[in-house]
Amino acid sequence: MNEVKSETQSIQYWVGIDWGESEHAVAVVDERRNVLQQFKLAASLEALQDLAVRLHALKFVAGIAIESTRNPILPFLLGEGFTIFPVNPKLSAHWREGNSVGGVKNDARDGLVLALELSRRHESLRTCTPNEAAAELSGLCETLRDLIDQRTALLQRLKATIRQYYPGAMEFFSDWSSPVAWRFLKKFPNPAKLSRTQKSTLIQFLKANRIGLKPLWLERIERRKTASQWPLPDDAAALEIMALATIAQLQALQPHIEKLDDLIDERNKKSPQAQLMKSLPGAGPRMAPALTAIAETVLHEKDRLQALRGLSGVAPVEKQSGKSRRVKIRRRCNKHWRNIMHLFARCSIASCRWAKTYYNLCRERGDRYASALRKLADKWLKIIDRMLDTGEAYDDDRYVNALKKNGSPVYKKLCEKNC
């Protein structure tokens, strides 16, 4: 009896969950791919708690496959102690096509396919390793990037609107990302209002907003009456409303951006990797925390460099068949990471001599702008991986000496430039 019990308890179970907004489809198979259970549950906390009880009753759930990592199911199941295998939706779609020639698709079948494929492919799949600190910093940086993108779009729309009905205002401010410029437009929303304004009123506005009375500003004040001499379009009233509405959105967005900056700065100070990332040339106050989040996420990966290259989309995808070989950009990656590495590589060109030389060398060899930046980002990822190994900050002179020792063409090009 004891031998039979031991054999029964050694069986592993694999679970697939196809999540939805109103209900989730769950399938459970054993290690021999026999279907044990298939059921649906409501998208509620009570239903998730019942699911956890049901899965714990099996005692040997080896893993759970789920498509998305951005829903409440995943952190709940991680908190219950289950091993989660996040599956790319495109990968699960290929699994589904491979299991049905007719292309049958429904929620119950999707959950079953996830469970079946997990039972035989789990060794080649990545598990979801909970890292609350890295996830928090990464989420803050990603949200900040999204809000900045929104602000950039609003600023572009604001400037385009002003140029149409109020070109005289463009002479007052060159930087329309400044809150002072927004307050100026709210106080003087059209050319007629600006031209009628007394000189003393404008001076008072400048003083209230801590703008010194430099000759340039005094000259702008004297030219205020020319604002009304520009011809007005027929829809000037509508454009004025659009400009004021855009400013209202910018003013509502700005406090949240500033709050995120403070939260990121506070969280970044707690990370041991923060000082390492700050030492990288071109990594400013917003770029360094994003690089820290990337480093923390893959810090304990078995093959950290490969994880960095793959998840950030820097490593290309090679397709070879016979004598045909093709290399293309990696699409299935963390898009936020890819944008960060692309931006960091571009910033490093202006701050690092060898980075600029390497970028120019890639361009001379025929690489396009984006391809050259990706190759430069790949170099930086190798450096970051080495920094994480040694715990030492980046040293530009040491790296250039390493290029010299290895006879790198980058060093030769760098010497030619200096000569």
Q: Give 387-410 pLDDT, tens digit per residue.
A: 999 999 999 999 999 998 988 998
Are both 69 and 123 inside the same structural domain?
Answer: yes
Position 155 scores a pLDDT of 96
Provide the domain limits for residue 368.
274-418
Does 305 map to a domain? yes
| Closest CA relative to residue 205, chosen from 225, 185, 191, 190 | 185
Position 7 scores a pLDDT of 44
Are both 255 and 294 inside the same structural domain?
Answer: no
Does 156 map to a domain? yes
Position 6 scores a pLDDT of 44
pLDDT at 380 over 90: yes
Contacts of 176 (CB under 8 A, 6+ apart): 155, 158, 159, 162, 182
Domain boundary among 130, 158, 175: 130
CB neighbour burial string for 185-195, b if at least 16 within 10 angstroms, e if fewer: beebbbbeebe
For residue 307, what pLDDT band results from cuts at 50, 70 and 90? Answer: confident
pLDDT at 79 over 90: no
pLDDT at 308 over 80: yes
Instruction: Tell me the pLDDT tens digit for each residue of 237-296.
Output: 999 999 999 999 999 999 999 999 999 999 988 888 999 999 999 998 889 999 999 998
> What's the token pair of residue 43?
């998208």
Work out the average pLDDT over 65-94.
83
CA 345, 347, 352, 354: dihedral to nearest 10 degrees? 30
pLDDT at 2 over 60: no
Position 4 scores a pLDDT of 37
Position 97 scores a pLDDT of 77
For 322, counting Cβ atoms within 10 Å of its Cβ (0-12 exposed, 13-18 middle, 19+ buried), the class is exposed
Domain boundary among 130, 146, 162: 130
Q: Rounded to an integer, what distance in angstroms lies between the CA atom of residue 16 and that of residue 66?
A: 6
Are both 360 and 401 inside the same structural domain?
Answer: yes
CATH of the domain at 146: 1.10.287
Position 8 scores a pLDDT of 46
The one-letter code for the residue type at 133 is A
Q: Which helix (H) or strand (E) holds 18?
A: strand 13-18
75 or 165: which leads in pLDDT: 165
Are both 209 and 281 inside the same structural domain?
Answer: no
Position 418 scores a pLDDT of 66
Position 385 scores a pLDDT of 93
Are both 284 and 406 inside the same structural domain?
Answer: yes
| Closest CA relative to residue 334, chosen from 202, 95, 162, 145 | 145
245 or 301: which leads in pLDDT: 245
Are both 374 and 278 inside the same structural domain?
Answer: yes
Does 2 map to a domain? no
Q: Please report the DSSP string for 66-130 in residue order.
A: ES-SSSTHHHHHHHTT--EEE--HHHHHHHHHHH-TT----HHHHHHHHHHHHHHHGGGSPP---
Q: How many CB atoms lie within 10 A of CB 179?
A: 12
Q: Please report the DSSP string for 260-285 in residue order.
A: HHHHHHHHHTT-TTHHHHHTSTT--T
Work out the average pLDDT over 222-246.
91
Are both 247 and 290 inside the same structural domain?
Answer: no
Are both 43 and 113 inside the same structural domain?
Answer: yes
Does 3 map to a domain? no
Are both 414 and 278 inside the same structural domain?
Answer: yes
Least confident window among 112-116, 156-160, 325-329:
325-329
357 or 333: which leads in pLDDT: 357
Residue 243 carries which DSSP code? H
Position 102 scores a pLDDT of 62
pLDDT at 70 over 50: yes
Work out the average pLDDT over 155-179.
91
Domain boundary among 213, 248, 266: 266
Position 104 scores a pLDDT of 65
Position 396 scores a pLDDT of 92
pLDDT at 204 over 70: yes
| Closest CA relative to residue 292, chosen from 129, 126, 136, 75 | 136
Are both 165 and 97 inside the same structural domain?
Answer: no
Tell if the pTM clears 0.85, that is, is over it. no
Are both 312 and 338 inside the same structural domain?
Answer: yes
Does 1 map to a domain? no
Position 218 scores a pLDDT of 84
Q: Which helix (H) or strand (E) holds 192?
A: helix 191-196
Are both 81 and 100 inside the same structural domain?
Answer: yes
Position 3 scores a pLDDT of 39
3-class DSSP state of 325? strand
Does 69 map to a domain? yes
Position 156 scores a pLDDT of 96
Position 67 scores a pLDDT of 85
Domain count, the chain: 3
pLDDT at 45 over 60: yes
3-class DSSP state of 317? strand
